[in-house]
Structure 1
């Protein structure tokens, strides 16, 4: 059967669920919220030396970064479900306030433990900010128009992520590391004001029961997974603590199915998991995230060691990936809106990214030039930019409107776990292949300590041996990432394509004012017709 013909484009009034002035306020507020959460994921890194010099406690320093990832990932599914129950504005308000409270607490911290606690609170808020921006836009924009806005949001995310490290370095050097957190306060307050000026209040139309047990099990399993990955990548994968955490994560994951099956309103509905579009799209996104995060995690280090680039130059060498990502996000999103198709762009994106990863492996093996490796990052980013808007549009279009929040947040949850897993596996490959020739006596535990200074102290022959091991490690990482991306390419070909309505979810006059969850207009989520 052929793919369905795209529905004709609707008017702007039908495609947007709010009056133009309110919509633009909400859009500005959501973009500001997204930028803040993206910045804070990596803005702290350059300030860590100054933080450690003030507080000491070097053994706890990595937790300043890790705890943010842990709490933001674990909290993500809860925000989606609660926003489906109570509306978007109440949950966005809670997420922003938690994020700002964590920022203030971190800025005022007088010890490392207080800073880690502040980052944990900040992460709980950030977990909602990232996913609720996508969920809220799905309420306000028709399925067909969402692609354009997903591209815009992706471009803002890319710019903010790139700006994080240099901005953090400038603030820490010329003001104080505490202002990395204080600067969030006025910006967050401005975003919250814009959202309240545009979004209708949430309305609780029926009695709900929160799946507390499911949330506790998900958070515990997520914590075990992330701590096991963190401990394994910085120590031994066969240590008792890593094995214990891994076993606990598996047991908790096995318990989750029966718990969710018995829950009146499960945090992760089993019926949604059985939706083929959601399942395939989430699986593809997770596999691609594993591949890309693993491939790029240690590339700056490799460019410095093997390519002789400075830290600044190695960062600049990574810019082509961001440039390709941003340009293709904008193009891909608009193309989805124009054509009403998403599968062709998603399949093309995975294919381009897969070829780019294998090309990186070949280049690292045959001609490890930092300039060639940097240039190959452009098609990798371009492939990702074509893929991501299509996947989001696909699974949001395939589930019932009352499940969009849950579907979006759960997909984001698995992507976050995939990213952490990809980095950990890449670190393990690097430790195994390059850990035997380290100057500090050898051993995977010394991987974090090698750098240009240590390398320069070795004899020329020892330097050549270390660099050869790094080269082979990166070839292996790129090739393994290519294999994982190829699995995603095989999987995405099974993705059904559905018609994308150009009518926003606004059933009656001013329905968002009276019922923010609403019901789907006719044809908003038609059945799938073809893979």
Structure 2
């Protein structure tokens, strides 16, 4: 390969010129090692992504059991917040001690706190364990993506890119169904225990088969992580802290406004101000340290001058918002309004999740075989996604779920599935080789940050509507119990129950209406990938991948 994917010490080269060198075939696993390594990394990727969707159809059961319906969003956003904040740390650690040790460590942490989630006896304990589970997942996800980029020679990358997208999409497809089955039998703890056996098998495969010297990053003893100033600079701890602060403060105000405090309160305003200040300091810090060779920023300034890359980051962020909202709140709508069981709700999500799975695979193959530029496929998918979300916002607020609604799911699922798959595939073709480790973390950070913010906004809409529209017709005790446990609905008088259900229905409509704006932003943002005369494309040859040069003339 051409140089290192990222520096393995604090003396990383900052030269923008990358020398091309023949790709060393001996760097890649072969035979049974290749098979076992691939199974191990893709099983890890599947399980981490499963944790986002498997809880969607079991949330009502979980929150009813633990009396925390008003904290529904936190069960997912707590996971996604730490998931977002720690990705860059894990990828940088892998640049120091090697991919294998780091990926195994992240897997072990993810599995340990999966066990903790299943053993939780209160909603707050569950949220805390979910947050630590997210830290482990934050390592597994980008490291698997990075290992997939390094598992085989360049011409084979689109094939493994298809496996990557397929793993993500399959998790989205099977998660709601598995969660529904477990919740229906009141065994929600197995939503988290389900990770343990396949996760342990994946770790064992990686221990046995994954080469010690994987990719272009040499394996080093764990003693290289001994705290010192060079390590502090290499990991960019300051940047990571300000990034996490900005994320958590913003998620907190979006989740808790209208529940613990009003939007006009000093608490809400203070949290918003502190979040804004944290984001400003984060970008200012990244800009300042970028000029010092001893520092390795988690968001290099040169990213801002790569127009195509910025377009990809924005597109993945805004596509993540409606993606998670549909999986979580459409499943909730099926259970609250249509009186479906958790399993039935998961089955009725299949048009959305299954089409996301299929379209991801088809799009990845089309990129390779048809040499179709990324931007054209993402543009088409963005339009499809936006139309699907807009149509979902027109679902009737009374009566049975219409047959057309499943068609709307197909449109939205197809669009977001293609977008996710192609954006993951396109990373090594758009960024420089030296930025591949950082970029693989950034693209996923943006998607999960978008997902966390989308869910927080949707949760705030729902809770705000319930509190403002029902405060005059329900006692404070009744409203409090409703916000703790939706099972209270069955104890209400028929007329009051109908009114509450109408408020829920209005809330679901408003949630999807809010997501139209996010989906629509994908259209102009993906156009930033357009180039004059040539476009980024997955080429079936052995050319080098930092694709400032890897284009196809049209």
* Bucket of the pairwise TM-score, normalised by the shorter protein: 0.7 to 0.9
Post-superposition CA distance 1:9-64 (Å, at most 9, x none) = xxx998994324322221100111112222334556749968986x9899989766
Match of 2:247 in 1: 222
Shift of 1:251: 0.7
Provide the C-alpha distance between the structure 1 equivalents of 2:300 and 2:89, rounded to a whole number of angstroms: 12
Provide the C-alpha distance between the structure 2 equivalents of 1:380 and 1:58, rounded to a whole number of angstroms: 27
Contact 1:501–1:523 (Cα < 8 Å) also in 2: no
Match of 2:352 in 1: 321
Contact 2:536–2:550 (Cα < 8 Å) also in 1: yes
Shift of 1:363: 4.3
Match of 2:134 in 1: 123
Task: Identify which of 242, 247, 263 aligns with 2:268.
Answer: 242
Map 1:54-453 → 2, pairs under 5 A: 66-105=77-116, 118-141=129-152, 145-164=156-175, 167=178, 181=192, 184-196=195-207, 197-201=209-213, 202-203=217-218, 209-232=234-257, 234-235=259-260, 236-263=262-289, 264-341=295-372, 342-364=374-396, 369-433=401-465, 435-438=467-470, 440-441=474-475, 448=483, 451=486
Provide the C-alpha distance between the structure 2 equivalents of 1:140 and 1:321, rounded to a whole number of angstroms: 31
Could you say what secondary structure the match of 2:529 adopts? coil
Contact 2:169–2:360 (Cα < 8 Å) also in 1: no
Size of the alignment, in residue pairs?
503
Contact 1:88–1:132 (Cα < 8 Å) also in 2: yes
Provide the C-alpha distance between the structure 2 equivalents of 1:185 and 1:130, rounded to a whole number of angstroms: 17
Shift of 1:320: 0.6
Provide the C-alpha distance between the structure 1 equivalents of 2:501 and 2:193, rounded to a whole number of angstroms: 42
Provide the C-alpha distance between the structure 2 equivalents of 1:382 and 1:170, rounded to a whole number of angstroms: 25
TM-score under structure 1 normalisation?
0.80
Indicate how the Cα distance of structure 1 residues 359 and 62 shifts in structure 2: closer, same or farther if over 3 A, else same.
closer
Indicate how the Cα distance of structure 1 residues 364 and 106 shifts in structure 2: closer, same or farther if over 3 A, else same.
closer
Provide the C-alpha distance between the structure 2 equivalents of 1:467 and 1:175, rounded to a whole number of angstroms: 24
Shift of 1:407: 0.7
Contact 1:303–1:370 (Cα < 8 Å) also in 2: no
Match of 1:526 in 2: 549
Provide the C-alpha distance between the structure 1 equivalents of 2:367 and 2:27, rounded to a whole number of angstroms: 16
Provide the C-alpha distance between the structure 2 equivalents of 1:501 and 1:23, rounded to a whole number of angstroms: 23
Task: Identify which of 494, 498, 505 aligns with 2:528.
Answer: 494
Contact 1:434–1:470 (Cα < 8 Å) also in 2: yes
Could you say what secondary structure the match of 1:359 adopts? helix
Indicate how the Cα distance of structure 1 residues 13 and 387 shifts in structure 2: closer, same or farther if over 3 A, else same.
farther
Provide the C-alpha distance between the structure 2 equivalents of 1:522 and 1:166, rounded to a whole number of angstroms: 38
Shift of 1:97: 2.4
Provide the C-alpha distance between the structure 1 equivalents of 2:361 and 2:243, rounded to a whole number of angstroms: 34
Shift of 1:257: 2.1
Provide the C-alpha distance between the structure 2 equivalents of 1:173 and 1:361, rounded to a whole number of angstroms: 28
Provide the C-alpha distance between the structure 2 equivalents of 1:173 and 1:459, rounded to a whole number of angstroms: 25
Shift of 1:99: 1.9
Contact 2:53–2:175 (Cα < 8 Å) also in 1: yes
Contact 1:294–1:425 (Cα < 8 Å) also in 2: no
Computed over aligned residues only, the root mean square deviation of the Cα atoms, in angstroms, reads 4.0
Provide the C-alpha distance between the structure 2 equivalents of 1:173 and 1:468, rounded to a whole number of angstroms: 25
Shift of 1:353: 1.1
Post-superposition CA distance 1:180-232 (Å, at most 9, x none) = 65554443332123223133434169986331211222222222222222212
Runs of at least 5 residues in structure 2 that lack an aligned partner in the other structure = 1-22, 225-229, 290-294
Match of 1:7 in 2: none
Indicate how the Cα distance of structure 1 residues 450 and 113 shifts in structure 2: closer, same or farther if over 3 A, else same.
closer
Q: Does 1:478 align with 2:512?
A: yes
Stretch of structure 1 that moved more, 330-339 or 145-154? 145-154
Provide the C-alpha distance between the structure 1 equivalents of 2:67 and 2:160, rounded to a whole number of angstroms: 44
Indicate how the Cα distance of structure 1 residues 319 and 13 shifts in structure 2: closer, same or farther if over 3 A, else same.
farther
Provide the C-alpha distance between the structure 1 equivalents of 2:112 and 2:330, rounded to a whole number of angstroms: 35
Shift of 1:88: 2.0
Map 1:503-514 → 2, pairs under 5 A: none
Post-superposition CA distance 1:351-397 (Å, at most 9, x none) = 11112122223444799734322331011111112222222222321
TM-score under structure 2 normalisation?
0.77
Indicate how the Cα distance of structure 1 residues 173 and 298 shifts in structure 2: closer, same or farther if over 3 A, else same.
closer
Provide the C-alpha distance between the structure 2 equivalents of 1:445 and 1:457, rounded to a whole number of angstroms: 14
Post-superposition CA distance 1:141-165 (Å, at most 9, x none) = 4566444433333333333345445
Provide the C-alpha distance between the structure 1 equivalents of 2:168 and 2:333, rounded to a whole number of angstroms: 25
Post-superposition CA distance 1:302-360 (Å, at most 9, x none) = 34454454544333221110111111111111111212222222111111111212222
Shift of 1:67: 3.6
Contact 1:96–1:129 (Cα < 8 Å) also in 2: yes
Stretch of structure 1 that moved more, 323-332 or 162-171? 162-171
Could you say what secondary structure the match of 2:263 adopts? coil
Indicate how the Cα distance of structure 1 residues 503 and 194 shifts in structure 2: closer, same or farther if over 3 A, else same.
farther
